Amino acid sequence: MKSLKTIQVLAKIGKVLSKIVQIFCIVGLVLCLLGLGSWILLQNADLGNIDPQLVQLDKEVTYEYVIATMICGIIALVAEIVVSTLAYRYFKHELEEGTPFRFKLADELKRLGVVTIVLSVAAFLICDIGWRIAYNYVPAVGKFPFESAGYSQVGMGIAMLIVAVICRCATEKIGETDGALTEENA
């Protein structure tokens, strides 16, 4: 039962971390939306006697680049909010059950793995394709800066799928219809 207790401690940590990630992503999303709105307002505002170069971060960082980067950030944060919400829900259910060795939890973990992979790839592709289209019409956007960042969550999703199969296999091995692991069959 020592292993099961370790799994439960890890599930508690996972629940807390997924909630923290969710909160940070929501804060980041709000800040990206505020930043996007501010940049759009700033670009369209009459600055009067203020030199427009004072509001430019760097000579190489254009208005279009900042807007495109914030839009990509918004897309990535929305995807991560969905994943962290599903992860929080999984850990909550696992802690309620007291064991990961239930068929419904294995299915939920498999679903989480698939969603993680799909949203990671989809967010990257949307940003990449959108950036390339924008670059064709507005070259000031510059080249797509996130070439290697698109598949960072795919490995995590694959790991979730593998763990889901292991949990399902262990549940079947226990021989219980609901997969309950008790002290007698541990």
In terms of residue numbers, what domain contains 162? 2-174
The per-residue pLDDT for 81 is 96
Once rounded to an integer, what is the mean pLDDT over residues 146-157?
76
Give the burial class of 156: count Cβ atoms within 10 A of its Cβ; 0-12 exposed, 13-18 middle, 19 or more buried.
middle
What tokens appear for 78 in the block? 């929305």
Residue 174 pLDDT more than 90?
Answer: no
The per-residue pLDDT for 112 is 97
Going by pLDDT thresholds of 50, 70 and 90, the confidence category of residue 164 is very high
Asked if residue 21 is part of any domain, the answer here is yes
CB of 117 closer than 8 Å to CB of 153: yes
Beta bridge partners of 58: 61
Of 56-60, 110-114, 123-127, minimum mean pLDDT range: 56-60
The per-residue pLDDT for 157 is 93
Going by pLDDT thresholds of 50, 70 and 90, the confidence category of residue 9 is very high
Asked if residue 182 is part of any domain, the answer here is no
Using CA atoms, how far apart are residues 112 and 110, in angstroms rounded to an integer? 5
Asked if residue 179 is part of any domain, the answer here is no
Report helix, strand or coil for 61. strand
What is the total count of domains within the chain? 1
Q: Say how many C-beta atoms besides its own lie within 10 A of residue 184's C-beta.
A: 5
Asked if residue 36 is part of any domain, the answer here is yes
How many alpha carbons fall within 13 Å on the CB side of residue 64? 16
Asked if residue 90 is part of any domain, the answer here is yes
Asked if residue 54 is part of any domain, the answer here is yes
Report helix, strand or coil for 107. helix
The per-residue pLDDT for 50 is 59
Give the burial class of 2: count Cβ atoms within 10 A of its Cβ; 0-12 exposed, 13-18 middle, 19 or more buried.
exposed
Of 65-69, 141-145, 147-151, 176-180, minimum mean pLDDT range: 176-180
* Total-model pTM: 0.83
Going by pLDDT thresholds of 50, 70 and 90, the confidence category of residue 3 is confident
Once rounded to an integer, what is the mean pLDDT over residues 66-85?
92
Report the chain's mean pLDDT, rounded to a whole number.
85
Once rounded to an integer, what is the mean pLDDT over residues 170-183?
65
Residue 183 pLDDT more than 50?
Answer: no
The per-residue pLDDT for 179 is 47
CB of 100 closer than 8 Å to CB of 11: yes
Asked if residue 75 is part of any domain, the answer here is yes
The per-residue pLDDT for 47 is 61
DSSP code, position 140: G
Asked if residue 186 is part of any domain, the answer here is no
